[in-house]
Amino acid sequence: MKKIKDLPLRDRPREKLLNRGALSLSDQELLAIILSKGTKKADVLSLSKKIVKIIDEKGLLFTAHDLTEIEGIGNAKAATIAAAFEFVRRRIKPEGVKIKFPADVLPLIQHYADRKQEHFLCISLNGANEVMNVRVVSIGLVNKNQAHPREVFADVISERASAVIIAHNQPNGELKPSVEDIKVTKQLKDAAAILGLSFLDHIIFNAKRYFSFTESKIL
């Protein structure tokens, strides 16, 4: 991985944001700007990559203490990141995002579209269909082992959620569900019913489009 000082000036995160806008940056680059600098042992992009991984796993409920487990991230940097996320959460959607249609989920997960591997995501919702959390369940090809109900629903149950939506990005751009996608979806829907959860949708998406199991009447 290249360090910021090795990049052409126009490709450095801060310069990219100023010249092309924040939407042109990856999650890793956005965090690099918040962090400002790295440490003697790790450059800022390397630290940002580790932080992205933790936030992917923990979802919106990550804490500053989760981040301090990373070598090079002390209380000051962890607090800065946690404060920035909370500030935006309060200003943008102070009462939670309400899901009425499958496309309503896309702004919450679209930043995973450019990932090189499939990210299997779980969105938990309360009884009013407001988003409670978004988390990465597994990374890699979606199959029944990686998307086992135990892994998908463990945190959903602890949050006392009422409903779930699952989603995964498709790096190759193909949105048509595979046989494995359909099997996994049926398994999770059946498990959700046993647990008393509403299984609302499975969404497959890329950078430009999405496929909804519900809209296509596969569920």
User: Where residue 108 sits, what CATH number does that domain have?
Assistant: 3.40.140.10
Q: Does residue 124 sit in the same domain as residue 186?
A: yes
**pTM (global) more than 0.85:** no
Name the residue range of residue 41's domain: 4-92
199 and 158 housed in the same domain: yes
Is 185 in the same domain as 128? yes
Residue 200 to residue 32: CA distance in whole angstroms: 35
Decide if 30 is inside a domain: yes
Residue 206 resides in a domain: yes
The answer to whether position 84 is within a domain reads yes
Residue 130 and residue 67 share a domain = no
**Last residue in a domain, options 71, 92, 113:** 92
**Has residue 61 been placed in a domain?**
yes
> In this structure, are strands 131-139 and 119-125 parallel, antiparallel, or unpaired?
antiparallel
Tens digits of pLDDT across the chain (219 residues):
567 888 888 889 999 999 999 988 989 999 999 998 888 888 899 999 999 999 988 887 789 999 999 999 999 999 999 999 888 777 665 456 889 988 899 988 988 998 888 999 999 999 999 999 899 998 886 665 567 888 899 999 998 999 999 999 998 888 999 999 999 999 999 999 999 999 999 999 998 899 999 999 987
Q: Dihedral, CA atoms, 209, 210, 216, 218, nearest 10 degrees? A: 150
| Claim to verify: residue 22 and residue 88 sit in the same structural domain | yes
Residue 97 domain-assigned (yes or no): no
Place of tokens 């190759």: 172
Instruction: Classify residue 74: in a domain, yes or no.
Output: yes
Using the structure block, give the residue that is written with the tokens 């995002």. Answer: 97
Q: How many domains does the chain have?
A: 2
| Residues 57, 112 share a domain | no
Largest Cα span, the chain: 55
Q: Does residue 76 sit in the same domain as residue 152?
A: no
Same domain for 84 and 124?
no
* Residue ending a domain, choose from 92, 112, 129: 92
User: Quick one: pLDDT at residue 1?
Assistant: 57
Closest C-alpha among 66, 171, 72 to residue 118: 171
Residues 122 and 88 reside in one and the same domain: no
Q: 217 in a domain, yes or no?
A: no
Given 33, 67, 92, which residue is the final one in a domain? 92
Instruction: Please check whether residue 207 lies inside any domain of the structure.
Output: yes
Is there a single domain that holds both residue 122 and residue 57?
A: no
d(CA 54, CA 25): 19
Residues 45 and 71 grouped into a single domain: yes
